[in-house]
Chains A and B, each alone.
Chain A
Amino acid sequence: FLSLSLQAKMSRPVQAQRLEGIDKNIWVEFVKLAATYSTVNLGQGFPDFPPPDFLKEAFMRALSGENHMLHQYTRAFGHPPLVKILAQFFGKLLGRDLDPTTNVMVTVGAYQALFCCFQAFVDEGDEVIIIEPCFDCYEPMVKMAGGTPVFVPLRPKAPKDGKLMSSADWQLDPAELASKFSKRTKAIVLNSPNNPLGKVFSRGELELMADLCVKHDVLCISDEVYEWLVYDGKEHVRIASLQGMWDRTVIIGSAGKTFSATGWKVGWTVGPDRLLQHLRTVHQNSVYHCATVAQEAVAQGFQRELELYGKPESYFVQLPKELQQKRDWLVRSLDAVGMKPIVPEGTYFLVADISQFKSDVPDVPNSDEPYDSRFAKWMVKNKGLAAIPLSAFYCGSHKNNYDHFIRFCFAKEEATLKAANDILQKWKREKTSP
């Protein structure tokens, strides 16, 4: 028979407490649905066009070249050619001298960079301010680190008469934001350009945030993965370049978004050594090294972009130009059928108001599931069009605040966007005809 202590052990759950409340993930379900039902997938955020040729060629050169040591471990905190070029590139953008070994660290995608930040800086009891709607991983990562997420919403202001709503119309209330800062606030997570709305925070908005960070001695985790995807001549302002912010900010970037190669999972952090040293500690005790070949290729990609910076052939000029056209296409497409798009200033996402289509998916009172989620599932199953409900980007109790929006990804080939348009047009016809 079992001893009492053994029984006690067996009655405890096998998993660690840090996993409590973070096991759910909407992507698992929605990716499966898209794979099963969708004919047009505007759901998960990745391009359906390839990375640029110069990058693919760099990858091929790296894997097949004379130097077969590129298939072995490289420097753990970042392949030397990559950290060197990142230090140069971001040094130029920030107007600072950056040291490749202390001011830059390479990670497995921006996702792992975020993880390192939370693990390095968030202790039990620390509060982290998160602006909603937001990329869904921030909340569970804060919780896994034992921290408390404190949410502050972007609130939509009605657009001027006759105009479509813009992501710029979604704003923080300064007093509300200030009220979220407390003695326990360790960090604020900023995502600009913002996923899912596409908002590009203005200099004024960032200065407000910066003032509060400095006043309360709070860190800023700045997720800037969409930094190049900015439209209508808008400027992506880096909060780390504002007064008092370099010393307290970790900037996060992504090769996946920068070079349309999400499957390479190469990301990076840029910041002061006294913050990055702790990210290095987390990194060396969790994954240690990142894959070499992709880092070599990304380094070459950045080398090219450094040389072509600001020129029309630069990928960082061409990509946003192309994506802006796709954005405008999708905006027209949605507007034409009565789905009201919120025109994004950046990113490759667009959120649309589906209120006029609600009749297709009747409300279910007292349902656990937010309406927009049920709508999105119905849409992929019945129309073959995959999108993500906006409630996926809100946390727990706030999921029902905005229940009539869905997010589309428009980093798609023309054919894909045309096919989406066909589905929407057909849908509209079915609604209006008896």
Chain B
Amino acid sequence: MLFASRSFCCLGIRTYQLRTDLLSRSIKLSASATMAFRHKNTRRIEGLDSNVWVEFTKVAADPSIVNLGQGLPDISPPSYVKEELAKAAAVDRLNQYTRGFGHPSLVKALSQVYERVCGRKIDPLTDILVTVGAYGSLFSTIQALIEEGDEVIIVEPFYDCYEPMVKMAGAKPIFIPLRYKNYGNSASSADWVLEPAELANKFNSKTKAIILNTPHNPTGKVFTREELQVIADLCIKHDTLCISDEVYEWLVYKGKKHIKIATLPGMWERTITIGSAGKTYSVTGWKLGWSIGPQNLIKHLQVVHQNTLYTCPTPLQEALAQAFWIDYKRMDDPDCYFYSLSRELESKRDRMAQLLQEAGLKPVIPDGGYFMIVDVSTLNVDLSDVDEKQPYDYKFVRWMITSKKLSAIPLSAFCGPETKRQFEKYIRFCFIKKDSTLDAAEVILKNWNKQTA
């Protein structure tokens, strides 16, 4: 009786006993047992929990597998970059908070480098935001400028985070695929193009932004000036923003030039250009990136940043600033890391392509970046007995990991729902790998046909 009246009282009462005695404890236990746990995820992250990397990065932990999957270098960053970090960390003050929107010496260095590249004045304090990787820049940009009711055009295949980030902002992704135009025998990333009429059709009054990625992950396509002009014309016509992911901007191979869409007439005021220390200096684990654009856009990214993580790590930013000064001073010199890395990667690219061709595969030779996509259908590996629902490339990669001890990433991970069938015969290899890794890949590829014969 006493129990019942106590529980009745506790439900309605405002003042509450401070002492937790046995009786109230048992009431609490019964209350929590009958209430269903209502703390599910918020609407904004509904359906965004799965991720291709969760499965395929586990592979990296297995040393018996030659890992050409996830995009991270296994080559060392340049020694001066590591030295600058050591120097920075030795300064007491540099182990404490720095300026939220970007460490002063870093934003200064970035403004100098990009002023030279873009040919326009860039204010380090108002036109730049330093973020946790280019990933953080994409997030800040999308959270700042995209919301429910907006549409965002995404070019397929796309770096996989674009879609969930757009959805998390409440907006609708509108996909447009790169289409393969076979102009010759050996496939090049330049053969993958957007159809201008198809692209124009995707724009409407709801289109808030288009996400451009050049050089492109995963194909390695380097958009030409003419191709960028088509996109720019549409952006201007429809008053659309352009989010330009240019993390691979320095990794462009012979005969190709990286063009910044923000430098085209009418585009600076509507473009956020994103860069990455990880890709520039082969230090993906530093997770530093930046957004550059006009003050009236960057200021909104800064608001997001100050309400999400406030400031990025200091010693890494200082080290990066110093590395940039070193290379800024030699931007006319072929030894500048921006160019020397590109040359190093070009020979790796060529080697990778040759190995794949000799194994009977059809690689798409990238004009930039450090990925290469490969059509594996020519191998005619029959995986029809494996789970039907999975796209072919997922099945193929899993099979290749198990039976060939070689990893890659399935291309359909980079596609919207409509185009998965179109891209499921492709897998993506990463070639920013040291010689011994490529040697090991060579052994596997050379023996490939022997084993299946």
Q: Are A207 and B95 in contact (CB under 8 A)?
A: no
Chain A minimum-CB-distance residue to B317: A263
Q: Are B15 and A16 in contact (CB under 8 A)?
A: no
Q: Are A215 and B132 in contact (CB under 8 A)?
A: no
Chain A residues with Cβ below 8 Å from B307 are 22, 115, 137, 140-141, 144
Q: Are A287 and B135 in contact (CB under 8 A)?
A: yes
- Give the bracket for the number of chain A residues in contact with chain B: 35 or more
Q: Does A64 contact B (CB under 8 A)?
A: yes
Q: Are A14 and B241 in contact (CB under 8 A)?
A: yes
Q: Are A8 and B205 in contact (CB under 8 A)?
A: yes
Q: Are A145 and B39 in contact (CB under 8 A)?
A: no
- Given A72-B284, A281-B48, A289-B287, is A108 in contact with B32 using a C-beta cutoff of 8 Å? no
**Once the chains are docked, how many angstroms separate the CA of A379 from the CA of B48?**
49
> Nearest-CB distance from A123 to chain B (Å)?
5
Q: Does A49 contact B (CB under 8 A)?
A: yes
- Given A16-B144, A207-B18, is A286 in contact with B136 using a C-beta cutoff of 8 Å? yes
- The interface bits of chain A over 1-20 (1 if a CB of B lies within 8 angstroms of the residue's CB, else 0) are 00101101110001111110
Q: Which of A27, A186, A244, A285 lies in contact with B100, CB distance below 8 A? A: A27
Q: Does B239 contact A (CB under 8 A)?
A: yes
Of the A-B pairs whose beta carbons lie under 8 Å apart in the complex, a sample of 29, sorted by A's number, is A6-B238, A14-B296, A15-B300, A16-B169, A31-B99, A47-B96, A48-B96, A59-B89, A64-B82, A71-B77, A71-B282, A72-B72, A109-B309, A109-B310, A119-B45, A123-B44, A175-B15, A175-B16, A215-B31, A244-B28, A265-B309, A265-B313, A281-B45, A287-B309, A289-B285, A290-B287, A291-B286, A293-B285, A293-B316
- The interface bits of chain A over 157-188 (1 if a CB of B lies within 8 angstroms of the residue's CB, else 0) are 00000000000000000110011000000100
Chain B residues with Cβ below 8 Å from A174 are 15-16, 18
Q: Does A421 contact B (CB under 8 A)?
A: no
- The interface bits of chain B over 41-77 (1 if a CB of A lies within 8 angstroms of the residue's CB, else 0) are 1111100110101000100000000000010111011
Q: Are B315 and A264 in contact (CB under 8 A)?
A: yes
Q: Which of A121, A211, A264 lies in contact with B20, CB distance below 8 A? A: A211
Chain B residues with Cβ below 8 Å from A14 are 145, 241, 296-297, 300
- Given A6-B239, A178-B14, A286-B136, is A23 in contact with B31 using a C-beta cutoff of 8 Å? no
Q: Does A234 contact B (CB under 8 A)?
A: no
> Nearest-CB distance from A425 to chain B (Å)?
27
> Nearest-CB distance from B268 to chain A (Å)?
14
> Nearest-CB distance from A411 to chain B (Å)?
10
Chain B residues with Cβ below 8 Å from A144 are 307
Q: Are A285 and B313 in contact (CB under 8 A)?
A: no
**Once the chains are docked, how many angstroms separate the CA of A16 from the CA of B300?**
9
Residues of A near any B CB (own CB < 8 A): 3, 5-6, 8-10, 14-19, 22-23, 25, 27-28, 31, 44, 46-51, 56, 59-60, 63-64, 68-76, 108-109, 111-112, 115, 119-123, 137, 140-141, 144-145, 174-175, 178-179, 186, 204, 207-208, 211-212, 214-215, 217, 219, 243-244, 247-248, 256, 260-265, 274-275, 277-278, 280-282, 284-294
- Given A112-B309, A243-B28, is A288 in contact with B161 using a C-beta cutoff of 8 Å? yes
Q: Are B308 and A5 in contact (CB under 8 A)?
A: no
> Nearest-CB distance from A275 to chain B (Å)?
7
Chain A residues with Cβ below 8 Å from B38 are 217
Q: Are B239 and A263 in contact (CB under 8 A)?
A: no
Q: Are A16 and B145 in contact (CB under 8 A)?
A: yes
Q: Are A287 and B29 in contact (CB under 8 A)?
A: no
> Nearest-CB distance from A235 to chain B (Å)?
17
**Once the chains are docked, how many angstroms separate the CA of A34 from the CA of B90?**
24
- Given A51-B95, A145-B42, is A9 in contact with B100 using a C-beta cutoff of 8 Å? no
Q: Which of A112, A214, A288 lies in contact with B31, CB distance below 8 A? A: A214
Q: Does B147 contact A (CB under 8 A)?
A: yes
**Once the chains are docked, how many angstroms separate the CA of A211 from the CA of B18?**
9
Q: Are B145 and A64 in contact (CB under 8 A)?
A: no
* A-B contacts besides A6-B239, A56-B95, A108-B312, 11 pairs, CB < 8 Å: A8-B205, A14-B297, A15-B144, A16-B146, A63-B89, A111-B310, A243-B28, A264-B313, A278-B41, A280-B49, A288-B135
Q: Does B311 contact A (CB under 8 A)?
A: yes
For window 180-208 of B, CB contacts with A under 8 Å fall at 205
3 smallest A-B Cβ distances: which pairs?
A263-B314, A292-B285, A5-B205
> Nearest-CB distance from A206 to chain B (Å)?
11
- Given A108-B132, A264-B313, A286-B136, is A120 in contact with B303 using a C-beta cutoff of 8 Å? no
Q: Are B15 and A287 in contact (CB under 8 A)?
A: no
> Nearest-CB distance from B78 to chain A (Å)?
11
- Given A217-B38, A261-B96, is A60 in contact with B76 using a C-beta cutoff of 8 Å? no
Q: Does B110 contact A (CB under 8 A)?
A: no
- Given A178-B15, A287-B287, is A263 in contact with B94 using a C-beta cutoff of 8 Å? yes
Chain A minimum-CB-distance residue to B164: A285
Q: Does B92 contact A (CB under 8 A)?
A: yes
**Once the chains are docked, how many angstroms separate the CA of A5 from the CA of B42?**
32
Q: Are A25 and B70 in contact (CB under 8 A)?
A: no
Q: Which of A59, A112, A244, A278 lies in contact with B45, CB distance below 8 A? A: A278
Interface size on B, residues (CB 8 A): 90
Looking at A10, A109, A284, the one whose CB has the most chain B CB atoms below 10 A away is A284
Q: Are B135 and A217 in contact (CB under 8 A)?
A: no
**Once the chains are docked, how many angstroms separate the CA of A148 from the CA of B275?**
35
**Once the chains are docked, how many angstroms separate the CA of A219 from the CA of B146?**
29
Chain B residues with Cβ below 8 Å from A256 are 97
**Once the chains are docked, how many angstroms separate the CA of A127 from the CA of B238?**
39
Q: Are B132 and A287 in contact (CB under 8 A)?
A: yes
Q: Which of B49, B312, B316 lies in contact with A277, CB distance below 8 A? A: B49
Q: Are B313 and A294 in contact (CB under 8 A)?
A: yes
Chain B residues with Cβ below 8 Å from A17 are 147
**Once the chains are docked, how many angstroms separate the CA of A243 from the CA of B283?**
45
> Nearest-CB distance from A395 to chain B (Å)?
14
Q: Are B31 and A56 in contact (CB under 8 A)?
A: no
Chain A minimum-CB-distance residue to B85: A63
Q: Does B24 contact A (CB under 8 A)?
A: yes
**Once the chains are docked, how many angstroms separate the CA of A25 from the CA of B10?**
41
**Once the chains are docked, how many angstroms separate the CA of A265 from the CA of B32?**
36
Q: Are B16 and A211 in contact (CB under 8 A)?
A: yes
Q: Are A111 and B97 in contact (CB under 8 A)?
A: no
> Nearest-CB distance from A168 to chain B (Å)?
16
Q: Which of B28, B168, B278, B286 lies in contact with A285, CB distance below 8 A? A: B168
Chain B residues with Cβ below 8 Å from A292 are 285-286
- Given A71-B82, A207-B20, A243-B25, is A217 in contact with B35 using a C-beta cutoff of 8 Å? yes
**Once the chains are docked, how many angstroms separate the CA of A284 from the CA of B92?**
32
Q: Are B15 and A60 in contact (CB under 8 A)?
A: no
Chain B minimum-CB-distance residue to A7: B239
Q: Are B42 and A123 in contact (CB under 8 A)?
A: yes
> Nearest-CB distance from B402 to chain A (Å)?
22
Q: Does B347 contact A (CB under 8 A)?
A: no
Q: Does B304 contact A (CB under 8 A)?
A: yes
Chain A minimum-CB-distance residue to B281: A71
- Given A121-B42, A285-B139, is A212 in contact with B16 using a C-beta cutoff of 8 Å? yes
Q: Does B383 contact A (CB under 8 A)?
A: no
Q: Which of B77, B147, B286 lies in contact with A16, CB distance below 8 A? A: B147
> Nearest-CB distance from B140 to chain A (Å)?
9
